[in-house]
Amino acid sequence: MAKVDVADQVLEFYSESIPQHVGIIMDGNGRWAQQKGMPRVYGHKKGVDAVREAVKFSRKVGIKSLTLFAFSSENWKRPEEEVSGLMELFMLVLTREVKTLHKNNVRLKIVGDLDGFSKSIQDKVASAHQLTQDNTGLILNVAANYGGRWDIVQATKVLAEKVKSNELNSADITEDVFDSFTSFSDQPLLDLMIRTGGEMRISNFLLWQAAYAELYFTPLFWPDFKDIAFAQAIEFFAGTERRFGLTGEQVKS
């Protein structure tokens, strides 16, 4: 019996409701590993496999932008051994995965305060950006040393400097102008935010971008988030009525 391709089923039933930009808080790697009697870093390594599947699935169903919360600005407070392991894993992924992403026409964008990383990681990030910058397929954003508040603050600083130098009048700062200085200004609006691991909060992820995003929470730990789970999130999204401040009657008319 032929194996059913979940992505094909999604396209068959929900082709008109595919979110253009999906953000995922990849939570539960450490707890997944602990349940198996393994160190937390082992869970993060298995989480890389789930990332590969999510990228492949996103490409198949036509998602334009996929943003993955890999390392928050608050994660530096975790045990030194775990942080060190995450940095090693980040370096390994940047070394091994970028050529495959490039081959598949994926544009990789590492988003966050990169000054917090070692020079070797910064160099790898710069090389990855340069290699994939002209690709026209899926945009894969990896949020690393990132926080939604950081994104808002850095945009505010740029605007403040422009007002100070008389390049911009403060009265001309609108939501659209402000948005143009945030980290995802060149991409579709965030449609769907997914959080794995059972927690029901957004943990300083894409605060500005999530204003009208649909929020989907699943108890599955990230290493267990397979194509079927992603398809269920899209099914949820397809079933929502996106009103953007309007009434249901206005949307229908």
Cross-strand pairs, 72: 146
For residue 121, the one-letter residue type is: I
For residue 167, the one-letter residue type is: E
Please confirm, yes or no, whether 75 is among the known catalytic residues: yes
The catalytically annotated residue of 5, 8, 27, 135 is: 27
C-alpha to C-alpha distances, 171 to 156, 166, 177, 179, nearest whole angstrom:
14, 12, 11, 15
Helix (H, G, I), strand (E, B) or coil at 216: strand
Q: Is 215 exposed, middle or buried (0-12, 13-18, 19+ CB in 10 A)?
A: middle
Other Cβ atoms less than 10 A from the Cβ of 105: the count is 13
DSSP codes of every residue in 40-77: HHHHHHHHHHHHHHHHHHHHHHT-SEEEEEEEETTGGG
Please confirm, yes or no, whether 123 is among the known catalytic residues: no
- What contacts 123, CB < 8 A, 6 or more positions away? none
The catalytically annotated residue of 29, 75, 169, 224 is: 75
**pLDDT tens track, the chain, 253 positions:** 456 799 999 999 999 999 999 999 999 999 999 999 999 989 999 999 999 999 999 999 999 999 999 988 888 888 888 888 888 888 888 989 999 999 999 999 999 999 999 999 999 999 999 999 999 999 999 999 999 999 999 999 999 999 999 999 999 999 999 999 999 999 999 999 999 999 999 999 999 999 999 999 999 999 999 999 999 999 999 999 755 565 555 556 5
Reference 192, options 218, 228, 153, 224; nearest CA is 218
N-terminal to C-terminal alpha carbon distance within the chain: 45
* Contact status, residue 203 vs residue 157, Cβ threshold 8 Å: no
Residue carrying structure tokens 């999530």: 210
